[in-house]
Structure 1
Amino acid sequence: MITSDVDIFLGLDVGKTDHWACAVTKDGTKIWNKTLPNDEAKLVSVYLKLMTQGTVLVVVDQPATIGALAVAVAQHLGIPVAYLPGLTMRRIADMYPGTAKTDEKDAFIIADAARTMPHTLRSIQVSDEDEATLGMLTGFDLDLARQITQTSNRIRGLFTQIHPPLERILGPWLEHDAVLEVLASWPTPAQLKHAGKARIDAKLKKQGARRHTAWAGAIMDALYEQTVVVVGTDAAGLVIPHLARQLISLHAQRVDVATHLETMVEAHPLYQVLTSMPGVAVRTAAIIIAETSGKTFPSAAALSSYAGLAPTTRQSGTSIKSERVSHSGNKRLKRALFLSAFASIRFDPTCRAYYDRKRAQGKRHNQALIALAHRRLTVLFAMIRDGSLYDVPELKIA
């Protein structure tokens, strides 16, 4: 960010009920150093008071969640807002004397870093309402995905304990609500045997399973592979129906969120551009839009650094010289781009060729995928900048 015209740097160490606010001038003089309630009227009062003394830049360490109101009030008053990433702030803090960590000290470090090291800041612009909604929906969708994984693993763990052959059959099918309805009705091996193949088949068919007959047969075959009843089976029978119903509900919620996401993303100007790239579907496009909205990136390298895909160089004398994957950056964006790169190697020959080349160079699977994600993000930056669709390059035949 360009801060040459800023007179006052206001650092906010944000909190749930109160922020610590520290304002410093260009020469480093503190002119405000107090707690600031997370309240609109109090924020407006402090902002306006500082604006009478010069141009103000508000710098926060968390622009979303608990810092959202402070950012929104500043933007409403026309005050520019910047973001100092938490990891960057902690590294800068090591250069200041003392080992204590307090809100007051953190607020001063944020303000002083903005004054002396403006290159560490990231600009925050006013986000469009739809993009803010996308951010909230994608975050909720990610929470649902984690809960689905957790619940599925819990069900699989119970069946692994009481009937391993049945787990090997049912485990991969837990994403289907028809199978979950069967488990909700007959949760234990004994109940499934008593229900019989015909009733299980009818239940699967009623719930829309296309391979209901084959699945019912596989379940019955697995049931007869084990005759011993394991201790704890009855207790599992009490828990599994609740978990199955919970998983059905989570699936329904995720479908509902996906419907809203699809409607909003398809109406976004960048939809056609983003989804023209192989491996980028509605959810990935929504995360890209949500995580980059309101932020400016002067180059592809800056965007890669923000996403945590830019390699970090390690060098010490002549004995150590290597590059490793960065552990910083936007985790949600990095994960989405990583999974997108993984999907692309099945559909895009050029991505597959690049991945194979990296593997041939000795890189591990994850390393090759991260390199591919970095390469694809560079292309994506140019696509967004120029508003152009993805053009599959021709493969060079050796």
Structure 2
Amino acid sequence: MPAEPTVERADLTALIERVRLRDVGAFRRRVEGGGTGAMIGDLFHTVFVIALTTIFGGLAVLALLVVGAGVVLRVLDDADRGFAVIAGTTAIAVTIFAACFALVAWFVRLGADIAIRDGRLPPNWRRRYRLHRFAVDNGLSYVPEAVGLRRSGVIFTAGRSPRGYDILSTGPGSDFEIGNFQYAGDWRSERALRRFGYFRLRLPGPLPHIVLEARRNRRWFGRSNLPWRFTSKQALSLEGDFDRFFRLHVPEGFEQDALYLFTPDLMVLFMDRASDFDVEIVDDWMYVYSPRPFRMADQRTYERLFAVLDTVGRRTLDRSARYTRHQPPSRYRVPSRLIRSIRIGPIVILGVFVLLLVRRLVMGA
């Protein structure tokens, strides 16, 4: 296994020094094969999608204004002109204006998300050139975009239109990879697009499926950033303050394996260095997820990630190597994957609605 990147060994010059537009243009022409047709087509697609959604938003706003104006006129006709009527009319007008603004913003955002999901927004060629040079200087492989990217981690198994971008790795069959990933959510998602930063590290051998959900980076109402939900039977409590930072999930029957892997010193490293990240161990890979894409052209990103890799990653490699040496081959015949829980909330709501409908029909009859 090749040596993992570290801040001490990494050459960050390409991320710091100024770049010449001439060099960026030459790199762009080399990547695009000397043509600009695809770029113009993508730009036209982006403008068309955003303009179309904005037009629909404008029509919706116009309809809302017409309805609002009718309400205001009705209030003025049916009541004496006084302070209460003026105040009420003003409140209605402000509410309609705010709703119109929010509606237009939502349609513009929807159009931008569609364009980003399809990978049609013009790329930042200055950033791509910096990352290309950074990869060359450090013996890494750089992939600007990977449409349809799939990996074994949980975020790569969700949604539609998966796309990776700004991916750095140690080459084909690599043992280390860092980049950004996005997918389009399904009808249950509150946003049309989900984006993550991630890096993954190959381990010496297969381990049970383990997920650490960080408590610091949770969304509204304590919701996890990960697309999977796990059953409560798979939650394992560890000693000390670890439960204040992470929620640990491990398959039933593999609790002792997790306790062997997560020694007190490793738990301290996770709390000190990786408490803002979700972590997953699946097969012979360790994944670290950020709820926001990494700023790949910023040297501070690598300073932090390489620090996590040099501490948490190195210690996890050591513990997993010891675990693999002490486990018989028959151990892996037992199912060692986490089970995804079923969301019963929508089912309960649908069931209550059906019962109320049946009750109304029966009573009406």
> Is the pair's TM-score, using the shorter chain for normalization, greater than 0.5?
no
In terms of fraction of residues, the more helix-rich structure is: 1
Q: TM-score, normalised by structure 2?
A: 0.29
In terms of fraction of residues, the more strand-rich structure is: 2
Q: TM-score, normalised by structure 1?
A: 0.27
